[in-house]
Structure 1
């Protein structure tokens, strides 16, 4: 815990309680990433099968319709990164209305696409837009893309970034591309570089933060992450880019992919990210806003991957939005 200062199908009773139901299209094979790893199988399914009653989740597990790496599993089985979860087609409660993002939102999402080929989309996600709906959100980036491209047969998130973080997000257009990229993630072959404005002067000798992280979920559904000895290993490499009066621009590269990793590691190092309401104190947040800050100053700026199917190493970059750029301009003056 240290900062390194060296360089199923549903029954009739289900249907009667939920008269409007929608079948999932077929068997899904979900590859577990680092963010999903460590949780119980039943908890994973409850989140994955949005709208499914718990009784249905436990029934399909008992009947052996859910498999981990093609083997039967128990509800309390822990899932690990790289596991393949078989999720059977089930009938889920359907909302009375399908929420379709406004045309202006869809246009903004399409304009944010920075790369596209037959199997992959890379999008410069705007701050404030979640990557997917849920937890009170009617839609996110993936729902917007599906609404904008109704002809697309397959669109799935490869990875996630926080709602208030902007920058590069990968979306697979083919299952083969999804498997290829998630395999690269498991092998830590994907390079991710974030730019962040942090409070204070980041010491040049701190080149990495190595501190285990533990995630807690409040009853409200809000996630809070803290450094804890019994947490999951987490490592972030850091490089100072520019120094200003009271702030620093840094490049952070997460080696592991924990929830809120960069945000918590920066705060643990004594330099929270500007505009972070979870991990920056109220006084500092107020000072940031008084200086014109309007958003969480964290941006997924660069991505290095092997293109699925081609094997060619490519790097992609995303420009800052106006709010990020204008705050930096103020600091540079």
Structure 2
């Protein structure tokens, strides 16, 4: 049972710093009024109880450094002690940090672990990292990886960094390469797949993506690295960043990813399992971007997971 505490009767005046600049006022309030229902936050905005520099504001208004936000007294729900990740999860994540400075962190995401909690999951990578770094004021995902995908995952430690990195990801400032295993023998050396993708959410909540003319533009460059027994190791470089892009584009080549239960071939996947592959063979091997603060080029590499490396050894010709 949650208890309710009454805040002081006087409104609070909060000056917006550089880290909060650029946020919408509703998101700013959500982060500072923990436990207050969103419907109530929108009501105090709609009724003019929240003021920015003395004036009324709409939910979508963005804040600037130095703005003064008046927040009326509200009743804040105090939650019970939150569940904490198991010690093994904390240790596993801490040991997988590939790069870290005062602004950003890159972790080698474990396979089989979602990037965030939800849909029955108490913890994902981001919740685990927040538990490991209890003193961190801000930790947010810059991008996402599928649950079964391992490799480079970028986390922002400052809101200003998150905004600038998002801009890079939306443009062409980020270079990502993946190691992927195609089912069957792919005879080409290199191929660019330029096929728009349309995302659908099924009644079960599962996301399915297909190639469709009305979809969003999507481009992936595939380059053959090695021919194996019944499979082909490739480097996949997504020029755009659509959901399940590499997986759907690989299927369009007639060579779905090995171990892909959603877009792959069930018979081939069964054969791969019998040879030792227990999951999707997709690994975010490198991540390159411009550091928002220093302007220098950063390139991070994540070593191939041992289970995938062992499987490659087993299927080499």
Q: 1:67 aligns with which of 51, 56, 60?
A: 60
Which 5+ residue runs of structure 1 have no aligned equivalent? 1-16, 33-48, 71-87
> Deviations for 1:86-129, whole angstroms, at most 9, x for unmatched residues?
xx999898876622111111111010001011111010001011
For the Cα contact (< 8 Å) 1:31–1:182, is it kept in 2? no
- 2:137 is aligned with 1:153: yes
Larger Rg computed on CA atoms: 2
User: How far off is 1:69 after superposition?
Assistant: 5.8
Q: What's 2:120 paired with? A: 136
- 2:213 is aligned with 1:220: no
The size of the alignment, in residue pairs, is 283
For the Cα contact (< 8 Å) 2:4–2:75, is it kept in 1? no
For the Cα contact (< 8 Å) 2:189–2:223, is it kept in 1? no
- 2:100 is aligned with 1:107: no
For the Cα contact (< 8 Å) 1:168–1:302, is it kept in 2? yes
Q: TM-score, normalised by structure 1?
A: 0.75
> Deviations for 1:219-259, whole angstroms, at most 9, x for unmatched residues?
22111111111111111111111111210011111111111
For the Cα contact (< 8 Å) 1:193–1:251, is it kept in 2? yes
Q: 1:241 aligns with which of 225, 233, 243?
A: 225
Q: What's 2:236 paired with? A: 252
1:1-333 aligned within 5 A: 65-67=58-60, 98-204=82-188, 206-333=190-317
Instruction: Provide the secondary structure at the position in 2 that maps to 1:301.
Output: strand
Q: What's 1:85 paired with? A: none
Deviates more, 1:177-186 or 1:287-296: 177-186
Q: TM-score, normalised by structure 2?
A: 0.79
Q: Are residues 326 and 60 of structure 1, via their aligned partners in 2, closer, same or farther at CA, if it must alter by over 3 Å? A: farther
Q: Are residues 286 and 307 of structure 1, via their aligned partners in 2, closer, same or farther at CA, if it must alter by over 3 Å? A: same
For the Cα contact (< 8 Å) 2:42–2:59, is it kept in 1? no
Instruction: Provide the secondary structure at the position in 2 that maps to 1:66.
Output: coil
What CA distance in whole angstroms lies between the structure 2 residues aligned with 1:50 and 1:290?
Answer: 49
Q: Are residues 176 and 99 of structure 1, via their aligned partners in 2, closer, same or farther at CA, if it must alter by over 3 Å? A: same
Which 5+ residue runs of structure 2 have no aligned equivalent? 8-13, 25-32, 48-56, 64-70
For the Cα contact (< 8 Å) 1:60–1:66, is it kept in 2? no
What CA distance in whole angstroms lies between the structure 2 residues aligned with 1:237 and 1:221?
Answer: 30
What CA distance in whole angstroms lies between the structure 2 residues aligned with 1:94 and 1:102?
Answer: 23
User: How far off is 1:180 after superposition?
Assistant: 2.1
User: How far off is 1:310 after superposition?
Assistant: 0.9
User: How far off is 1:308 after superposition?
Assistant: 2.3
What CA distance in whole angstroms lies between the structure 2 residues aligned with 1:214 and 1:50?
Answer: 35
